[in-house]
Amino acid sequence: MTERVGGVLEIKANGVTIAAKGDSFTYNTGQLKREMVKGVDRVHGTKSMIQVPFIEGATTDLPDVDTESIKNIEGATVILRAANGKTIILRNAAYTAEGDTTTEEGEIQLRFEGLQAEVIAPEAG
């Protein structure tokens, strides 16, 4: 039996389900990003930079969707449930996308950035 690693997902902001659209959602839990520091003579060492935790993807501008309320989300808990059973929780999040909506497919880009994020793995068994 193969394990499911991708596909259907669910996203909620403050308990309200948002219709997920597109090929995929992306998330980052805000771990440190390490980079090499280079000089003109050699690599001098490393540095660590903070990354902002985020969840991003797209939704469809359905007739019953209050797009302005999505774009005004602030101080929210955003939950992404992935097909592989993992749950990503983004806390104290705000909508930070540009806010553009396409007319061809009624697509709204979503990006929520927060103060902290965690990944909860599915229980074994």
Domain membership of residue 68 (yes or no) is yes
- Report if residue 107 sits inside a domain: yes
Structural domain count of the chain: 1
Could you identify the residue written with the tokens 């003579």? 41
Q: Per the domain annotation, does 125 fall within a domain? A: no
In a domain? residue 70: yes
Q: In CATH, what number is assigned to the domain containing residue 89?
A: 2.40.30
Cα(108)–Cα(56) distance, rounded to whole angstroms?
11
* Range(s) of the domain holding residue 83: 10-120
Burial class (CB in 10 A: 0-12, 13-18, 19+), 106: middle
- In this prediction the pTM is 0.85
Q: Given a cut of 90, is residue 4 above it in pLDDT?
A: no
Q: pLDDT, tens digit, for every residue of 64-115?
A: 888 899 999 999 999 999 888 899 999 999 999 998 989 998 999 999 999 9
Is 65 a member of any domain? yes
Residue 61 lies in a domain: yes
Q: Residue 1: inside a domain, yes or no?
A: no
Considering the domain boundaries, does residue 2 fall inside one?
no
pLDDT in tens, 43-57: 999 999 999 999 999
